[in-house]
Chain A
């Protein structure tokens, strides 16, 4: 499968615990995005990387959230001291950014987080 992959697909944790999610983008894609989606809502942008550089962060990304893309390939999203309000689907997307041409974002299957 050459699409975007995410791991784990499901995570159940207790309030106050730390969790880390991984995203593997489509191999040649240089941009990687994180979104969060709650039930009945559309995805909300969290942050994105071009190669290893984090270029934009939403104000939704509190200081408990951190994302990295150390080698410009896979990315991790860590949530520290989880809260029940963090329960959501965390979606990763990737795109091949080339200036002057449209670059579609392809989404992974998501990691569903439940905080008890």
Chain B
């Protein structure tokens, strides 16, 4: 079983739609959680951190459920430019001491169509 599992997609959605991605992780000792975005043939870039209380950044909302070891990302009002692969990432270190290895999921591909 992979340490971080994601539905690979692709998710094909029309512009303006709301789309949600889920991710599960196996290491209960994981302390910090992130969503990265990766465009085709580009490097991953941090999209947002995920906090226990849930957090929002514009059209993006991330949620963490430690009991179920489950992370989600919600994108509202999808734009064409949101088309990318979204990588779920966990880290055994706490946010205030993070910096060692990141464990990535396989990514979920999103395609937003006009």
Contact = CB atoms under 8 A, between A and B. Distances in A.
Interface of A: 31, 33, 35, 40-45, 48, 55-56, 58, 91, 95, 97, 99-105, 107-110
Question: DSSP class of A's interface residues: helix, strand, loop or mixed?
Answer: loop
B100 interface: yes
Interface of B: 4, 8, 32, 42-46, 49, 87, 89, 95-107
Contacts, number: 57
Contact of B44 (A48, A97, A103, A107): A107
A42 B104 contact: yes
A105 B43 contact: no
B102 A105 contact: yes
A42 B107 contact: yes
Contacts of B96: 99-102
